[in-house]
């Protein structure tokens, strides 16, 4: 049976843990809203790029993209997390990645994988899946841009090596998602040229049409990577928020149970003291 002093120490320890988890919950909620705001702010920029593509693709006809020369010519970027306390965020994403790559019939030995996040890298290593490169997740919304630039440089390197297909694996709204980043489906993008222009006058441009299209495609890739990274970070924080909420509830229940036990022990001690006093009084009175 625990003494009052032991219970008091346990209550303090659990109380400190409760305060830490509550702080983590608040930070997760703030971060989730921050990354959701980043995603929303991309809409205007994406609309501007799409309007540019609408003009640059006008009058052009593209065939549907063909398959890469070899199934081995495939690379995958997986957006995971660097820290834990986010449930099965990384595990579910890795399982989804493995299922999709198997369905595409890409041999494991031929997959070029870049893991964004130490935890996702560790999970792949546990399953003995080769990881070619890795990097840390952005620590804030302001750091996303530098991460995307690093990924774009890596994609350029892959293309020089003959890799024709790049896939993005990330979590969106709590569920794993797949985006085919390369090859760019110009056939689908050319549909933008059929959209009505918001004014009566079409814009003109002085750049070479091929250079303009290449620059706009580059921006399209940047936005796609930025959206995937931001969505992954938002999902991670949402998962961490749910995890910390559940942990906070469990810790609070434990804290309440310890407090109730402490009060019961304290009351038992008081009752015992009162009984001793009563017994002593009766003994004195009888004398």
Instruction: Answer yes or no: is 79 within a domain.
Output: yes
Q: Is residue 280 part of a domain?
A: no
Provide the pLDDT for residue 61.
Answer: 57
- Name beta bridge partners: 169: 78, 178
* Segment 118-167, tens digit of pLDDT: 999 999 999 999 999 999 999 999 999 999 999 999 999 999 998 989 99
Interval 103-131: pLDDT, tens: 998 888 789 999 999 999 999 999 999 99
State the pTM of this model: 0.84
Q: Is the pLDDT reported for residue 228 higher than 70?
A: yes
CATH number of the domain residue 109 falls in: 3.40.1380.10
pLDDT digits (tens, 9 = 90+) for 185-220: 776 776 666 777 777 777 777 778 788 888 999 999
First to last CA, the chain: 37
Phi, psi of 281 (to 5 degrees): -65, -45
Instruction: Please indicate, yes or no, if residue 27 is contained in any of the structural domains.
Output: no
Confidence (pLDDT) at 95: 97
What confidence category does residue 12 fall into, taking pLDDT thresholds of 50, 70 and 90?
very high
* pLDDT over threshold 70, residue 84: yes
The whole-number average pLDDT for the span 48-68 is: 71
Domain that holds residue 224: 32-193+205-241
- Provide the β-strand partners of residue 112: 75
Hey, what are 277's tokens? 């006093």
Q: What is the largest CA-CA distance in the chain?
A: 117
CA distances from 116 to 46, 78, 156, 164, 165 (A): 23, 6, 17, 21, 18
Distance CA 27, CA 7 (A): 30
Query: pLDDT value at position 92?
Result: 96
Contacts of 195 (CB under 8 A, 6+ apart): 54
User: Does 95 map to a domain?
Assistant: yes
Does residue 138 lie in a domain region? yes
Give Cβ neighbours of residue 6 (< 8 Å, ≥ 6 apart). Answer: none
The whole-number average pLDDT for the span 7-15 is 90
Let me know if residue 139 belongs to a domain.
yes
H-helix segments, the chain: 4-56, 89-103, 118-126, 144-160, 186-189, 209-286
Contacts of 267 (CB under 8 A, 6+ apart): none
Of residues 5 and 60, more confidence is placed in 5
Residue 169 lies in a domain: yes
Percentage of the chain modeled with pLDDT above 70: 89
Per mean pLDDT, which range of 13-27, 71-85, 218-232 is the poorest? 71-85
Give a yes or no: residue 107 inside a domain: yes
As for how many domains the chain has, the answer is: 1
Q: For residue 165, what are the contacts with CB-CB under 8 A and spacing of at least 6? A: 68, 73, 74, 75, 180, 182, 183
Place of tokens 């580059």: 218
The pLDDT of residue 97: 97
């Amino acid at each position: 049976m625990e003494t009052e002093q032991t219970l008091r120490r346990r209550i303090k320890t659990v109380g400190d843990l409760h305060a830490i988890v509550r702080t983590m919950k608040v930070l997760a909620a703030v971060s989730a809203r921050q990354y959701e705001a980043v995603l929303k702010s991309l809409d205007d920029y994406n609309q501007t790029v799409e309007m540019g593509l609408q003009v640059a693709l006008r009058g052009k006809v593209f065939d549907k993209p063909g398959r890469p020369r070899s199934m081995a010519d495939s690379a995958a970027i997986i957006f995971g997390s660097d820290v834990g306390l986010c449930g099965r965020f990384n595990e579910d994403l890795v399982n989804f990645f493995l299922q999709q790559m198997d369905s595409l019939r890409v041999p494991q030995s031929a997959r070029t994988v870049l893991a964004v996040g130490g935890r996702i890298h560790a999970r792949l290593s546990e399953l003995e899946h080769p990881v070619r490169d890795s990097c840390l997740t952005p620590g804030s919304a302001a750091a996303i841009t530098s991460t995307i630039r690093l990924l774009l440089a890596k994609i350029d390197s892959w293309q020089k090596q003959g890799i024709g297909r790049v896939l993005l694996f990330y979590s969106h709204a709590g569920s794993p998602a797949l985006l085919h980043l390369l090859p760019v489906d110009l056939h689908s993008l050319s549909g933008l040229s059929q959209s009505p222009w918001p004014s009566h006058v079409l814009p003109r441009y002085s750049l070479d049409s091929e250079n303009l299209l290449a620059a706009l495609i580059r921006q399209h890739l940047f936005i796609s990577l930025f959206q995937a990274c931001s969505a992954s970070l938002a999902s991670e924080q949402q998962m961490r928020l749910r995890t910390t909420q559940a942990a906070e509830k469990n810790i609070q229940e434990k804290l309440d149970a310890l407090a109730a036990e402490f009060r019961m022990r304290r009351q038992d001690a008081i009752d015992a003291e009162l009984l001793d006093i009563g017994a002593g009084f009766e003994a004195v009175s009888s004398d």
